[in-house]
Structure 1
């Protein structure tokens, strides 16, 4: 038998005690709480409560709901709030397929973008169950809980709209799958840091233009990475070993990098870097940021001078994927619980191998292959894709006495 229900929606200025006043009134009636949602925007509260009648006598249901209606209206009047009430029948909601989280990032995020994204969701036959803001600065991130959609089909549709609206959109399955991520593996050059280390070295060797050209070809996937690395490293022959100290002082972290690492380490994530760069410089980042695992190439040095060669196996596209798998084994974490972040073609294999592959300010070939893409220049925006809000980050920082912002 269907139960009679009453949906109560209170709207007005937020203040302490609104929710408790409403439920104190409801406690005097034979009803059960079926659903609750509450949101506060700029000090204005919207509280929705769905209650179902639990009395034994169907003939008394109408009288009960009528009295409840009157009591709720009186509370709203006392609080100076508006109230809407609607009756109905409690039919069991069918579980929709494809429960997803859709994250929309923009700087700024314009109404046209939200219109386009939500329009595509509606056109796919899916429903938006809930909307929440995860961040308002330096990038706005809105998260939509969506049901009734096929994830691959919706991801393809929203990718087209995201490109047209110049925003980032990520589509992920909800539930434990999303919350289970426990290992972050990140590229270094132009991802964790703002430059290509080999170009910093090349500037001191007087061959920056030539090295930069080869680097760009490799990142676009037009040139085999291992071959490109050998060609570029050969141009560094003769540089003194002291160059590593100079270049390490020139390295600038990407905005939000410290926040990203610090926040995920608080949550007991393992953090790894894997780089086509060089251990002589990545080792400093490992120490500075508290990185758990790392893999990079090593420049050969003989008698205090660079020889223009690399020692050992080159960390290339396939090598990065192997490193991700090795780190996951060492941490005892399945690949489905890993996140890979990169920007160039040599990151494609590890992005494909990870449970979640993220393209960060990446080349088109990487954006197309990744599960999600972030084009804003703030690395901690990745936290929002993991369901972590800026308010939660700032609260944790405040507890640790960290109040300065990186932006």
Structure 2
């Protein structure tokens, strides 16, 4: 059964009492509230209220709904605001349509990009129900609530447009499961940190070029990771053990890393790192950031020097996925509520296993396989994919006394 509706939109200078005044008038009529949205941009208010009622369409100023029309016009006149009223219907089929969240990130975000993205949404037969800004700096992030679209088809369309416009676009189903993500599992090298640890070690050993070439081939998926690791580690034989302390001081966290971990821990998320690197380095990151779980390889040291061998089972592509499963089991969190983040081919299995797989500044093969990809240099942009805005992060930091330059 269809319901008749009126969409009432007031636009004008923001001031106290506009919303209460409109709803006070509406309370005198036999209508129900179907939807409400309000936004203030630079002191200018736009308030939209969708009300539903039984009966035929309103005619002139007579009748109950006609009286409502007249009363709302009087509110707009008293407040010196522009008014628009549109009639329509809400069908049961439309009310049941699934919703998607389309998140658009750019630095800068240009009008052409928004035109391209919204045009693709319209061409797919979907509708943009709501638009909200999640961040204005250091990247601009806009989130759209979209209804009536097939997720896979829209994701493919928007991925093509994002590439053309040089922005990032993520498409996710809305609903409780989106906000239920509770375990973050992240790669370390070139993700949590800017560096490749084995290359920092190789620099001290004088074999950087050779190790870097093998690393790149492994990350592109051209070499088996475990075999490549054995080859690279062998080149480190003879390094003194104190090299770990030197390398730890050279590490550079990815911008936004501290903000990401701090914010998610504040929201009671569990945070894990999993690395094809080495425990002698990752243990320091765990202590520094307050990370809950970690898995990495361990370099063998005998008589104060590296032997050029790895101790125990190698954490490779399947090993990272197994670590994600283990962490989720320990935390009592289903895999559907996990997020995996990585950049290389050895992250593919854990990205596929997680409820949401994010390719962060990743190789092409990883971007194509992941649920979504981010190519901005700020790790805390991942918060926006979880529906957490920059303003919310800054407000929480201010309450906790965290200085604005903490990251």
Task: Tell me if TM exceeds 0.5.
Answer: yes
Could you say which residue in structure 1 is the equivalent of 2:330?
330
Could you say which residue in structure 2 is the equivalent of 1:268?
268
| Distance (whole Å) between structure 1 residues aligned to residue 63 and residue 194 of structure 2 | 68
| Distance (whole Å) between structure 2 residues aligned to residue 335 and residue 7 of structure 1 | 41
* 1:128 counterpart SS class: strand
| Offset at residue 402 of structure 1 (A) | 1.6
Q: How big is each residue's C-alpha offset from its partner over 1:296-354, in whole Å with a ceiling of 9 and x where there is no partner?
A: 00011111111111111110111101101111111111111111000000101111111
Could you say which residue in structure 1 is the equivalent of 2:287?
287
Indicate the larger mover: 285-294 or 146-155: 146-155
Q: How big is each residue's C-alpha offset from its partner over 1:150-180, in whole Å with a ceiling of 9 and x where there is no partner?
A: 1111111111111111111111111022112
Contact 1:98 1:151 in 2 (8 A): no
Contact 2:4 2:89 in 1 (8 A): yes
- Structure-1-length-normalised TM-score: 0.95
| Offset at residue 109 of structure 1 (A) | 0.9
Indicate the larger mover: 275-284 or 131-140: 131-140
* 1:188 counterpart SS class: coil
| Offset at residue 28 of structure 1 (A) | 3.1
* 2:189 counterpart SS class: helix
| Offset at residue 62 of structure 1 (A) | 3.4
Could you say which residue in structure 2 is the equivalent of 1:349?
349
Q: 1:304-343 to 2 correspondence within 5 Å? A: 304-343=304-343
- Structure-2-length-normalised TM-score: 0.95
Could you say which residue in structure 2 is the equivalent of 1:82?
82
| Distance (whole Å) between structure 2 residues aligned to residue 60 and residue 111 of structure 1 | 40
1:249 and 2:225 matched: no
Task: Identify if the C-alpha distance between structure 1 residues 17 and 93 changes in structure 2 by more than 3 Å, giving closer, same or farther.
Answer: farther
1:25 and 2:49 matched: no
| Offset at residue 397 of structure 1 (A) | 0.9
Indicate the larger mover: 299-308 or 5-14: 5-14
| Distance (whole Å) between structure 1 residues aligned to residue 179 and residue 374 of structure 2 | 19
In the alignment of these two chains, the number of paired residues is 406
| Distance (whole Å) between structure 2 residues aligned to residue 90 and residue 276 of structure 1 | 53
| Distance (whole Å) between structure 1 residues aligned to residue 271 and residue 327 of structure 2 | 9
1:208 and 2:221 matched: no
Contact 1:76 1:82 in 2 (8 A): yes
Task: Identify if the C-alpha distance between structure 1 residues 85 and 195 changes in structure 2 by more than 3 Å, giving closer, same or farther.
Answer: same
| Offset at residue 145 of structure 1 (A) | 1.1
1:136 and 2:139 matched: no
| Distance (whole Å) between structure 2 residues aligned to residue 59 and residue 402 of structure 1 | 58
Indicate the larger mover: 279-288 or 146-155: 146-155
Contact 1:10 1:48 in 2 (8 A): yes
| Offset at residue 92 of structure 1 (A) | 4.4
Task: Identify if the C-alpha distance between structure 1 residues 326 and 220 changes in structure 2 by more than 3 Å, giving closer, same or farther.
Answer: same
Q: Which runs of 5+ in 1 are unaligned?
A: none
Contact 1:201 1:236 in 2 (8 A): yes
| Distance (whole Å) between structure 2 residues aligned to residue 287 and residue 25 of structure 1 | 58
Q: How big is each residue's C-alpha offset from its partner over 1:47-91, in whole Å with a ceiling of 9 and x where there is no partner?
A: 011234479xx9999333333333322322232211122344565
Q: 1:113-262 to 2 correspondence within 5 Å? A: 113-262=113-262
Q: How big is each residue's C-alpha offset from its partner over 1:369-401, in whole Å with a ceiling of 9 and x where there is no partner?
A: 000000000000001111111111111111111
Could you say which residue in structure 2 is the equivalent of 1:6?
6
Could you say which residue in structure 1 is the equivalent of 2:15?
15
| Distance (whole Å) between structure 1 residues aligned to residue 164 and residue 34 of structure 2 | 40
Task: Identify if the C-alpha distance between structure 1 residues 85 and 59 changes in structure 2 by more than 3 Å, giving closer, same or farther.
Answer: closer
| Offset at residue 295 of structure 1 (A) | 0.2
| Distance (whole Å) between structure 2 residues aligned to residue 333 and residue 38 of structure 1 | 36
Q: How big is each residue's C-alpha offset from its partner over 1:103-126, in whole Å with a ceiling of 9 and x where there is no partner?
A: 111111111111111111111111
Task: Identify if the C-alpha distance between structure 1 residues 308 and 89 changes in structure 2 by more than 3 Å, giving closer, same or farther.
Answer: closer
| Distance (whole Å) between structure 1 residues aligned to residue 234 and residue 355 of structure 2 | 36
